[in-house]
């Protein structure tokens, strides 16, 4: 099993229904600690946020993600338990597999491989994670950005899970890379216009 798939399965097993993080941030921070990442927690109310950073030099490259998932809904409609990762017909099923624990597992293992090959890389790498994206989204990214924007300078690249977290445009010097993917998307912020990706 690949490191990415193994990490994704571990994340799916954690019942992180918004705004509960269910230990996802601790798992990820512990994994990054041996690579030199400093773990700063910026929690607000019932929301857990982590700012994980390696290095202090410019430029700063930031990955953005959320560990929370939407409620599972009617359990009888699931073909397998929502928090038990299940591979069926070559696809992985489980709450959060696509949005966005799969993305987190992918960028986490990519960062690990990058640092293994480039231990003295130029610039800094950070990972910003919140447990409040699928719900009210009032104590997550927006609050964290307000706190950290005074600490960071230079070119900041942020990878976004969907097409819009406009609050991040507050950071001076931001470079937004948009990658278009032909896929059906669905998120709570889209409302009734969203379609189930499955």
Q: What is the pLDDT of residues 43-55, one digit of tens each?
A: 999 999 999 999 9
Q: What is the pLDDT of residue 195?
A: 53
Long-range contacts of 22-31 (CB under 8 A, 24+ apart): 22/67, 24/67, 24/101, 24/129, 24/131, 25/50, 25/67, 25/129, 25/131, 28/52, 28/67, 28/104, 28/108, 28/127, 28/129, 31/7, 31/108, 31/112
In this structure, is residue 97 part of a structural domain?
Answer: yes
Number of structural domains (the chain) is: 1
Is 129 a residue whose pLDDT tops 50? yes
CB 189 within 8 A of CB 137: yes
In this structure, is residue 45 part of a structural domain?
Answer: yes
In this structure, is residue 127 part of a structural domain?
Answer: yes
Considering only residues 115 and 157, tell me which one the structure prediction assigns the higher pLDDT. Answer: 115
For 76, the domain range is: 3-193
In this structure, is residue 121 part of a structural domain?
Answer: yes
In this structure, is residue 198 part of a structural domain?
Answer: no
Q: What is the pLDDT of residue 172?
A: 45
- Output the domain CATH number for residue 17: 3.40.630.10
Q: What is the pTM of this model?
A: 0.80
Q: What is the pLDDT of residue 143?
A: 82
- pLDDT tens, residue by residue, 56-110: 988 888 888 999 999 999 999 999 999 999 999 999 999 999 889 999 999 999 9
Give me the active site residues, please: 68, 133
How many Å apart are CA 153 and CA 183, to the nearest integer?
34
């Amino acid at each position: 099993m690949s490191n990415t798939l193994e990490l994704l399965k571990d994340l799916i097993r954690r019942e992180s229904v918004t705004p509960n993080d269910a230990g996802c941030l601790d798992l990820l921070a512990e994994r990054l600690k041996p690579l030199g990442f400093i773990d700063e927690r910026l929690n607000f109310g019932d929301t857990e946020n982590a700012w994980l950073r390696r290095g202090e030099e410019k430029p700063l490259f930031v990955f953005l993600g959320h560990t929370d998932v939407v409620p599972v809904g009617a359990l009888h409609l699931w073909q397998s338990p929502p928090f038990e990762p299940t591979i069926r017909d070559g696809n992985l099923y489980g709450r959060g597999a696509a949005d966005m624990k799969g993305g987190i597992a992918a960028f986490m293992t990519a960062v690990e491989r990058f640092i293994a090959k480039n231990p003295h890389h130029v610039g800094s790498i950070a990972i910003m994670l919140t447990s409040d994206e699928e719900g009210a989204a009032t104590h997550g990214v927006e609050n964290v950005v307000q706190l950290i924007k005074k600490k960071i300078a230079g070119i900041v690249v942020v990878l976004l899970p969907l097409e819009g977290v406009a609050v991040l445009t507050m950071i001076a010097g931001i470079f937004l890379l948009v990658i278009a993917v032909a896929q059906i998307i669905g998120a709570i912020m889209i409302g009734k216009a969203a379609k189930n990706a499955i």
